[in-house]
Amino acid sequence: MNFFQKYSKFTTPALGLALAMGFTACSDEDDPIPTPPAAESNIVEIAADTPDFSTLVTAVETAGLVETLSSDGPFTVFAPTNAAFEAFLEENNLTADALLGMEGLGDVLTYHVLAGEAMAANLEAGRLNTVADAPIFVSIAENGNVWINGNTRVVQTDIDASNGVIHVLDFVLMPPSENIAEMVIAATEAETPEFTQLLAALQRADLAGAFMGGFEDDFTVFAPTDAAFMALYEALEVDGIEDIDVETLTAVLQLHVIGNTRAFSQDLRDGMEVATLGGAEITVDLTAMTVGGAPLNSDSLNMLATNGVIHVIDAVILPEMAEEEDDDMEG
């Protein structure tokens, strides 16, 4: 498994495009859970009476959370279906037994639970703190679809329970365990290495430490591939990152980072202009699928870290590219 496969779960090229543009609509198959006529049952009872939640119920029982989720609450539960669990197991090469025996299963399950009742109409884009003491991140696509952490869609909402509400998911949420710097380093050590040039650039510009934070930080990083850097070296007629002066390199790297924001693909809008760390603005073009003139890699969007989100791009953003795209959008 290469780095992109590890961190870009459930993202195909077609889905990546849909994620960025927000054009994925709910189908009849996305609403498999019959909605109870009245909130007479608690969350656990509703789940136990719903065949498509059988894997979730087994996991809740195994983790010893039945009593908690049967209490007065109120709670908001983002509930993966059996199909969501199957997709998660397949993507992670796990068996159901391995899942149930996973260390920290309770933490994974409580990452799907909010304290308090949040109906769909009250969900807004941004972070929500879970009872697992790690936040989830809500995005509202342009068509109104609700996404969690960029790669998991809410396919049914507002199943009312006596002690809260259930929203149905098409994948299992996993709290991130690595920050952006750690993810970049892990990529360089993967079976198929990636981001070796990005890491070298960050180290040369003394910026790697800026991306070592946790949930308290919010960065959006557009991360060029090694091939993107190699194309840059060829265009500049240099041998490598060491041949680019630090001041220029720092300015270029800052064009790839939005500070104080986790912008998932569903948060992007065509023509949106966003301010980068250095103050310069780059433009999102969803028709061309570019940001700052650099092509978005639709296979590798929404790679969640503790301190932000990474989107892979297939070119290095340069000041003149960003300026040209701004002129094109204005024209």
Helices (H), 1-53: 3-7, 13-21, 43-48
**76 closest CA partner among 30, 29, 130, 27:** 130
pTM of the model: 0.88
Looking at CATH, the fold of the domain delimited by 180-330 is given as FAS1 domain (2.30.180)
The upper half-sphere exposure of residue 298, i.e. CA atoms within 13 Å in the direction of its Cβ, equals 16
- For residue 220, the cross-strand partners are 258, 309
Tell me the helices (H) and strands (E) count for the chain, helix number first: 13, 15
Residue 67 CA to residue 106 CA, distance in Å, equals 13
CATH of 12-169, one of 3.40.50.10470, 2.60.40.1930, 2.30.180.10, 1.10.1470.10: 2.30.180.10
Is residue 67 within 8 Å of residue 187, measured between CB atoms?
no
Cβ neighbours, 10 Å, residue 27: 8
Which residues make up the CATH 2.30.180.10 domain(s) of the chain? Answer: 12-169, 180-330
In order along its 331 residues, the chain shows pLDDT tens digits of: 555 555 555 343 334 444 444 433 344 445 556 555 556 899 999 999 999 999 999 999 999 999 999 999 899 999 999 999 999 999 999 999 999 999 999 999 999 999 999 999 999 999 999 999 999 999 999 999 999 999 999 999 999 999 999 999 999 999 999 999 999 999 999 999 999 999 999 999 999 999 999 999 999 999 999 999 999 999 999 999 999 999 999 999 999 999 999 999 999 999 999 999 989 999 999 999 999 999 999 999 999 999 999 999 999 999 976 666 555 555 5
Residue 324 CA to residue 331 CA, distance in Å, equals 10
Tell me the C-alpha to C-alpha distance, in Å, between residue 42 and each of 51, 59, 64, 140. Answer: 16, 17, 16, 28
